[in-house]
C-alpha cells in the first residue's frame, strides 16, 4: 500500500510565502540602509574635498608668486644711494605692503624667525650649519629666506643656518689585532 504524500495545506503554503516575502523585504531594507549610508559618507567626503579645494585654491599661484615677492623684499632692503632712489623705494614699500595685506586676507601667513630662535623642523629647513657653543646649539644663526603657510598648510619652509655645537671625540684606543683562525693554517 502506498503511503499518501501529505500535501501542504493552503495555510502552510501561504505562511511559507509570507516568510519568504518577509526575508526578502528584510534583505532589501538592509541593502537600502547600506547604500544610503555609503551615499551620505560619499557626500560628506565630497563636501570636505570641495571645502579644501576652495580653501587651498591659491596654493599654486602662491608658489609661483613667492620668488617675485622675495626679490622685491631683497630690493627693498638695499640701501638707496640717492634721494630719488629713496622716493622710489618708499613707493615700492607701499606696494609690497599691499601685496602682503592681500596675501594675509587670503590666509597666507609669513614665517620669519629671528636669529637666536630655536630651530623648528616643522617649518624650517636647515641649509647650512655654523659651529656654535652649548648656549646656542640648535638655534638659528642666519635666516636666508622667509617661509609661508596657507592657512595650516606649509607652502615653503624657512631656509636657515643653524648653530651646532662641536662635539669633541676622544682619540680611539689602539686596538689589539685578533688573529684570524683562517690565517693560522
Rounded Cα distance between 81 and 86, Å, is 8
Q: With bands split at pLDDT 50, 70 and 90, how would you rate the model's confidence at 46?
A: very high
Nearest to 157 by CA among 126, 128, 129, 136: 126
| pLDDT per residue as tens digits for the range 48-105 | 999 988 888 888 899 999 999 999 988 898 898 999 999 999 999 999 999 999 999 9
**What is the average per-residue pLDDT within 125-140?**
90
Q: With bands split at pLDDT 50, 70 and 90, how would you rate the model's confidence at 185?
A: very low
Largest alpha-carbon pair distance within the chain?
A: 130
> Does pLDDT of 118 surpass 60?
yes
The pLDDT value recorded for residue 174 is 47
Rounded Cα distance between 34 and 156, Å, is 43
The pLDDT value recorded for residue 30 is 95
Rounded Cα distance between 23 and 63, Å, is 59
Give the position of cell 662641536: 166
> Does pLDDT of 5 surpass 70?
no
What average pLDDT does the chain have?
87
For 76-144, give the secondary structure using H, E and C. HCCCCCCHHHHHHHHHHHHHHHHHHHHHHHCCEEEECCCCCCECCCCCEEEEEEEEECCCCCCEEEEEE
> Does pLDDT of 149 surpass 90?
yes
Amino acid at each position: 500500500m502506498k503511503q499518501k504524500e501529505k500535501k501542504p495545506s493552503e495555510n502552510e503554503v501561504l505562511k511559507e510565502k509570507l516568510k519568504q516575502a518577509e526575508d526578502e523585504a528584510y534583505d532589501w531594507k538592509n541593502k537600502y540602509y547600506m547604500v544610503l549610508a555609503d551615499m551620505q559618507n560619499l557626500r560628506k567626503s565630497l563636501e570636505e574635498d570641495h571645502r579644501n579645494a576652495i580653501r587651498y585654491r591659491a596654493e599654486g599661484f602662491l608658489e609661483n608668486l613667492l620668488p617675485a615677492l622675495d626679490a622685491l623684499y631683497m630690493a627693498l632692503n638695499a640701501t638707496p644711494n640717492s634721494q630719488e632712489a629713496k622716493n622710489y623705494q618708499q613707493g615700492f614699500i607701499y606696494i609690497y605692503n599691499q601685496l602682503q595685506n592681500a596675501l594675509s586676507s587670503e590666509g597666507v601667513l609669513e614665517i620669519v624667525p629671528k636669529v637666536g630662535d630655536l630651530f623648528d623642523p616643522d617649518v624650517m629647513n636647515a641649509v647650512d650649519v655654523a659651529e656654535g657653543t652649548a648656549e646656542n646649539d640648535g638655534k638659528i644663526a642666519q635666516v636666508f629666506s622667509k617661509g609661508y603657510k596657507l592657512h595650516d598648510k606649509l607652502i615653503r619652509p624657512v631656509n636657515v643656518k643653524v648653530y651646532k655645537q662641536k662635539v669633541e671625540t676622544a682619540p680611539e684606543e689602539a686596538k689589539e689585532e685578533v688573529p684570524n683562525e683562517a690565517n693560522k693554517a
